[in-house]
Structure 1
Amino acid sequence: MDEAGIRVAVSTVIVALRPHPDTGAPALWMPLVRRIAEPFEGSWALPGGWVGVDEGLEDSAAARLRETTNVQPRYLEQLYAFGDVGRSPSRVVSIVYWALVHPDEANVVPDDWNVRWFLADEHPPLAFDHDRIVEYALWRLRTKMSYSRIAQAFLGDRFTLAELRGVYEAVLGRALDPANFRRQVEKTDAILPTDETTSGGRHRPARLYRSNPDLAYADNGPLQQGTPPQNRQEPPCPSRRPSN
């Protein structure tokens, strides 16, 4: 590609639930990588890299995640394209993904000088326009909680209603009434009860649930043959929607 050409990169916002350092309650965290070259040498940034010549976009996003953070997420969704002219010293368009990971997947991410976990709402200033990207990703996540089953992407194969409610509370940033939450969730077909219960705790065993395998977490691009279409569309961003 010549010097005047546009280069294409991929970046990924990884989000996981981990205990808050002060309260111990579930909170949103994301890993960032430290840049080792200019521009923005030494600054924190989203994990990513260039799109490979022989790679599709999602394959590139997954490969760059493995290389920088060891994460191999089950849930990887294209978020948006960021291509403002002044976002980088050279002309770069970034195809941004987000990966929602459950605790076992999050545990493989190193936490050292080069890669570090930060509270999603309390991260340091980021390189390029990555602050704007994270802001948009968190808005999209909170918006999707109202109409999709994306919350279940943070959990393992089996979970309690209390654990599911904890995801909602961490993402939305507010407490939810347990009884009302149970009634609302049990009206849907997003989760299915199992015959299993928790064990080994001090409290009464709680029923375990699982995600409905017939429903996708969220719309993830063009439909595959035989895949039912999503019935609900995302609402427009109320402010500062990125432009590509």
Structure 2
Amino acid sequence: MYIIHYMAKAPRPPHKLKFAIIATDTVLFCGSQRDLKVLLMKVDRPPFYKEHWGVPGGLIHPKETADEAAKRHLWEKAGAKFAHIEQLYTFSALDRDPRGRVVSVAYLALTPTTDIAKREGSVVCWFSVANLPKLAYDHKDIIRTAIERLRSKLAYTNIAFGLLPEEFTLGELQRLYEIVLCRRIDKRNFRKKLFHLKLVVGTKKKKRAGRSRPAELYRFSERRHKVIGIL
């Protein structure tokens, strides 16, 4: 019998199954010039959870990989696209799901936009990571682990490309780093490192913000994951 049927159609309750069910959960972050946001879905699983929230996820189908399942759940349940996704960690605490023995392969995903496609039957919303609602399961731990991974990878990769649009100012890039890292960065040294590593290239375009002098727009030299020591 396929694994997916055991959760909904098994002749015995999930907590009496003799094996673990495998699922995926994906933390999708979106950067902005004010805060770091995470995409959450409403979780109503009485009697265990009522008016709770959680990251998009679900069971892995018998004929798909964990990577394929994570991407499918993001799109089918949350209507979300991403610029980068990677496997984060496997969460396997015995009590992580009150309904039964479920192991979650968690993912970290990034997007530069808050745009999502509406999905019937799903309530989806962006929340600031600094002001999260009540979370179901162990999703608080999953989100915390994803934040730690993102902060770490900002220091030695170009992963920031997943949180910014195609074109941006150097000020916007620095602000993104400061928001995620929760600390100030020296402007001169930061820009010197960007140019030394050839992380960004100019577009010969400018952007005006308010009454300030127009700022030059840049783009990443590569929009794919790359190890590069920036901090």
Q: Deviations over 1:109-166 (max 9, x none)?
A: 66x9922221112212311111111111111111111111111211111111111111
Q: Deviations over 1:194-244 (max 9, x none)?
A: 33333586333322222122x7325xxxxxxxxxxx588xxxxxxxxxxxx
2:29 to 15, 21, 37: 15
CA–CA distance in structure 2, aligned partners of residues 187 and 29 of structure 1 = 30
Tell me the residue number matched to 1:36. 44
Is residue 208 of structure 1 aligned with residue 222 of structure 2? Answer: no
Q: Which runs of 5+ in 1 are unaligned?
A: 19-24, 219-229, 233-244
Please tell me the residue identity of whatever aligns with 1:27.
D
Please tell me the residue identity of whatever aligns with 1:14.
L
Q: Following superposition of structure 1 onto structure 2, how do residues 177-188 of structure 1 map, counting pairs within 5 Å?
A: 177-188=186-197
Contact 2:78 2:122 in 1 (8 A): no
Is residue 144 of structure 1 aligned with residue 158 of structure 2? Answer: no
Q: TM-score, normalised by structure 1?
A: 0.78
Tell me the residue number matched to 2:107. 97
Identity of aligned residues (%): 32
Q: Deviations over 1:32-75 (max 9, x none)?
A: 11112243243111111111222221111111111222101121
User: Residues 200 and 165 from structure 1, CA distance in 2 versus in 1: closer, same or farther, beyond 3 angstroms?
Assistant: closer
More off after superposition, 76-85 vs 196-205: 196-205
In the TM superposition, residue 183 of structure 1 has moved relative to its aligned partner by 1.4
CA–CA distance in structure 2, aligned partners of residues 207 and 46 of structure 1 = 36
| Aligned pairs, number | 212
Q: TM-score, normalised by structure 2?
A: 0.82
Secondary structure of the 1:117 match is: strand
Q: Following superposition of structure 1 onto structure 2, how do residues 59-138 of structure 1 map, counting pairs within 5 Å?
A: 59-89=68-98, 90-103=100-113, 106-108=114-116, 114-138=123-147
CA–CA distance in structure 1, aligned partners of residues 136 and 213 of structure 2 = 48
The structure where helix makes up a greater share of residues is 2
Point out the structure with max Rg over C-alpha.
2
Secondary structure of the 2:144 match is: helix
In the TM superposition, residue 108 of structure 1 has moved relative to its aligned partner by 1.9
In the TM superposition, residue 14 of structure 1 has moved relative to its aligned partner by 1.0
Q: Following superposition of structure 1 onto structure 2, how do residues 42-57 of structure 1 map, counting pairs within 5 Å?
A: 42-57=51-66
Contact 2:96 2:138 in 1 (8 A): yes
Q: Following superposition of structure 1 onto structure 2, how do residues 222-237 of structure 1 map, counting pairs within 5 Å?
A: none
CA–CA distance in structure 1, aligned partners of residues 191 and 209 of structure 2 = 23
Contact 2:158 2:228 in 1 (8 A): no
Contact 1:152 1:164 in 2 (8 A): no
Q: What is the root-mean-square deviation in Å for CA atoms of aligned residues?
A: 2.5
Is residue 176 of structure 1 aligned with residue 185 of structure 2? Answer: yes
Contact 2:40 2:127 in 1 (8 A): yes
Contact 2:29 2:36 in 1 (8 A): yes
